[in-house]
């Protein structure tokens, strides 16, 4: 058990008795800022820092894009800014009712709960109006404060150290609004604010380019697989109408996409297989709540980088706080497929170090049969043709999802073993190169943050 000895006057001054808040490293951090003039974040704002709410508790429903206003959730706030690869919308009526949480261009959004806690994004000018949920703090700054500067500070170790300090001491980290308002921001001239903001923005441009190159290497895997097999499903024209008797549809879904099937592989029937023929579906479960004081590692859908198909972050959770979906046990080389919004491609291989972790019941777990390459199978499950089939089987629903039986009948290209090995080797080399580019991207950002922190702490002559 960790312990530390601190002066009682320090504890009384902070009014915080938890160990996490009073760690020596945080005390030293405070001392490092003594020579820098700072202000509370709230004192730099036009209005009190606030947060959103979730409209669902009132019985409101999310709507389609053409019916509503963008609704920003904490998972949309990422290191690179707002990630709107998945969007949620609310009606304009709900948007007007939730006036407190309406979001405007140049607002700084800070994730204060959940897996993305501490992530920051400035609302771009092209988003004319939006709203947000209760896991997002809305920071509307005075006109003389550069929002990109505040974003840079909150993303730096200076901001992140404070965020960790305030949100620590809990099994589920979170920031209260009063804690957000107390965050210390260095006070600098507009010229220096702009310089710091520009340094970080330039680093993000470099990072974005390297990440684009890294993800392009992975996006080309589709073409590699199909060219190796000499099959071209995108060139196969499908009949968009179908004829079935009413009796054949009785008790089944009536939407066209579901019933028309998938015919792009019809000319290549000897070169494809249903997923169910090459995998098993393990059913090992565990109820973490039976050991309420024991922690476990949890994989949910947000843990997966949909660009790379890798598990980037897991959560350590006490059994007593286990989500109701935390029930499935996974093992090394298993592949987890998100059955919720399956077209996003949240599909990942379980690495050896995650053997025995628990994953959400929002995944279907597949285990490659003996002799089947996990690497090839993973690539095949992430193909656009696979996602398209998932999409058709989840169509006609406001909350797209597929069942295990849908996964079983989905067709994937299935080459001979030697061709599988060729493809797997090519995929592996591309993953290595992609990972190198992503490391370079992160290093460029880390170096920019270091430069900014040197400026802030007065260790660089300005």
Q: Indicate the pLDDT class of residue 235, thresholds 50, 70 and 90.
A: confident
Query: How much is the pLDDT for 368?
Result: 94
Q: How far apart are CA 70 and CA 259, in angstroms?
A: 32
Query: How much is the pLDDT for 59?
Result: 74
Q: How far apart are CA 138 and CA 131, in angstroms?
A: 10
Asked if the model's pLDDT at residue 181 lies above 70, the reply is yes
Asked if the model's pLDDT at residue 1 lies above 50, the reply is no
Asked if the model's pLDDT at residue 257 lies above 60, the reply is no
DSSP for 133-190?
A: -TTEEEE-B-TTS-HHHHHHHHHSHHHHHHHHHHH-SSSS-B--HHHHHH-EEE---H
Between residues 266 and 251, which one has the greater pLDDT? 266
Share of the chain above pLDDT 90, in %: 64
Query: How much is the pLDDT for 398?
Result: 59
Nearest by Cα to 138 from 177, 92, 165: 177
Q: How far apart are CA 16 and CA 275, in angstroms?
A: 55
**For helices 147-155 and 157-167, angle between their N-to-C axes, nearest 10 degrees:** 60
> Residue 442: which H helix or E strand, with range?
helix 417-456
Query: How much is the pLDDT for 21?
Result: 56
Asked if the model's pLDDT at residue 24 lies above 60, the reply is yes
Average pLDDT over residues 420-426: 93
> Residue 81: which H helix or E strand, with range?
strand 81-82
What are the distances in angstroms from CA 209 to CA 212, 215, 431, 438? 5, 10, 17, 10
| Coarse DSSP helix, strand, coil percentages of the chain, rounded to the nearest 5 percent | 45, 20, 40
Nearest by Cα to 135 from 21, 50, 47, 40: 50
Residue 66 dihedral angles phi and psi, to the nearest 5°: -75, -5
pLDDT in tens, 136-146: 999 999 999 99
Q: Indicate the pLDDT class of residue 252, thresholds 50, 70 and 90.
A: low
- The strand pair at 102-103 and 130-132 is best described as antiparallel
What is the DSSP secondary structure assignment for residue 460, as one 8-state letter? S
Residue 340, classed as helix, strand or coil, is strand
DSSP for 244-297?
A: --HHHHTTS---HHHHT---TTGGGGGGEEEGGGTEE----B--GGGSTT-EEE
Asked if the model's pLDDT at residue 462 lies above 50, the reply is no
Domains present along the chain, CATH in parentheses = 39-154+171-184 (3.90.220.20), 225-421 (3.90.220.20)
Q: Indicate the pLDDT class of residue 18, thresholds 50, 70 and 90.
A: low
Query: How much is the pLDDT for 218?
Result: 92
Average pLDDT over residues 332-338: 96
pLDDT in tens, 186-210: 999 999 999 999 999 999 999 999 9
Q: List the beta strands (DSSP E) in 300-402.
A: 304-305, 310-311, 315-318, 326-329, 335-338, 347-349, 358-360, 363-368
CB-based contact 276:408 (threshold 8 Å)? yes
> Residue 132: which H helix or E strand, with range?
strand 130-132
Most confident stretch, 10-14, 80-84, 193-197, 249-253: 193-197
Mean pLDDT of the chain: 86
Asked if the model's pLDDT at residue 289 lies above 80, the reply is yes
Strand partners, 111: 136
Q: Indicate the pLDDT class of residue 259, thresholds 50, 70 and 90.
A: low
Query: How much is the pLDDT for 332?
Result: 96
CB-based contact 35:114 (threshold 8 Å)? no
Q: Mention every residue, 6+ apart, whose C-beta is less than 8 A from residue 230.
A: none
User: CA dihedral in degrees (32, 178, 137, 144; nearest 10)?
Assistant: -60
Q: Mention every residue, 6+ apart, whose C-beta is less than 8 A from residue 263.
A: 236, 238, 239
Q: Indicate the pLDDT class of residue 65, thresholds 50, 70 and 90.
A: confident
Query: How much is the pLDDT for 158?
Result: 87
Tokens of 138: 């809305």
What are the distances in angstroms from CA 148 to CA 108, 152, 153, 250, 439? 8, 6, 9, 57, 24
Q: Tell me the HSE value of 223 on the side-chain side, using a 13 A CA sphere.
A: 5
Q: Indicate the pLDDT class of residue 258, thresholds 50, 70 and 90.
A: low
Share of the chain above pLDDT 70, in %: 85
> How distant is the alpha carbon of residue 29 from its chain centre?
29
Question: Counting Cβ atoms within 10 Å, is residue 35 exposed (0-12), middle (13-18) or buried (19+)?
Answer: exposed
Query: How much is the pLDDT for 200?
Result: 92
Asked if the model's pLDDT at residue 260 lies above 50, the reply is yes
Residue 265 dihedral angles phi and psi, to the nearest 5°: -100, 5
Work out the angle at residue 420's Cα, subtended by the Cα atoms of residues 415 and 425, and round it to the nearest 5 degrees: 155
């Amino acid at each position: 058990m960790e312990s530390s000895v601190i002066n009682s006057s320090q504890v009384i001054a902070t009014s915080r008795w938890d160990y996490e808040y009073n760690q020596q490293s945080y005390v030293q951090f405070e001392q490092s800022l003594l020579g820098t003039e700072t202000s509370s974040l709230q004192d730099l704002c036009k209005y009190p820092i606030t947060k959103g709410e979730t409209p669902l508790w009132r019985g409101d429903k999310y709507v389609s894009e053409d019916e509503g206003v963008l609704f920003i959730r904490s998972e949309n706030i990422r290191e690179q800014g707002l990630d709107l690869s998945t969007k949620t919308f609310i009606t304009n009526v709900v948007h007007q009712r939730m006036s407190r949480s309406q979001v405007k261009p140049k607002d700084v959004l800070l994730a204060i709960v959940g897996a993305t806690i501490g992530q920051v994004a400035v609302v771009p000018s092209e988003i004319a109006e939006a709203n947000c949920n209760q896991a997002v703090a809305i920071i509307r700054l005075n006109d003389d404060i550069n929002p990109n500067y505040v974003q840079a500070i909150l993303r730096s170790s200076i901001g992140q150290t404070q965020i960790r300090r305030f949100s620590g001491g809990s099994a589920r980290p979170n920031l209260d609004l009063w804690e957000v308002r107390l965050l210390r921001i260095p006070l600098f001239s507009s010229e220096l604010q702009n310089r710091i903001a520009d340094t970080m923005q330039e680093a993000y441009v470099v990072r974005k380019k390297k990440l684009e190159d890294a993800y392009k290497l992975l996006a080309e895997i589709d073409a590699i697989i199909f060219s190796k097999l000499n099959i071209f499903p995108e060139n196969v024209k499908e009949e968009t109408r179908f004829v079935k008797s009413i009796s054949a549809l009785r008790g089944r879904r009536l939407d066209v996409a579901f019933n028309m099937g998938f015919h792009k592989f019809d000319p290549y029937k000897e070169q494809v297989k249903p997923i169910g023929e090459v995998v098993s579906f393990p059913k090992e479960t565990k109820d973490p709540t039976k050991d309420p004081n024991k922690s476990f590692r949890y994989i949910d859908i947000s843990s997966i980088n949909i660009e790379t198909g890798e598990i980037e972050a897991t959560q350590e959770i006490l059994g007593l706080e286990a989500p109701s979906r935390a029930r499935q046990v996974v093992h090394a080389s298993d592949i987890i497929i998100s059955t919720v919004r399956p077209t996003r491609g949240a599909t990942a291989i379980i690495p050896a170090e995650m053997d025995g972790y628990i994953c959400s019941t929002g995944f279907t777990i597949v285990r490659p049969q003996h002799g089947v390459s996990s690497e090839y199978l993973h690539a095949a499950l992430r193909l656009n043709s696979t996602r398209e089939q998932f999409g058709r089987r989840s169509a006609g629903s406001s909350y797209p999802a597929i069942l295990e039986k849908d996964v079983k009948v989905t067709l994937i290209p299935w080459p001979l073993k030697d061709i599988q090995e060729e493809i797997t080797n090519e995929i592996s080399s591309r993953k290595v190169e992609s990972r190198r580019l992503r490391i370079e991207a992160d290093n460029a950002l880390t170096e920019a943050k270091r430069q900014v922190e040197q400026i802030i702490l007065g260790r660089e002559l300005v």
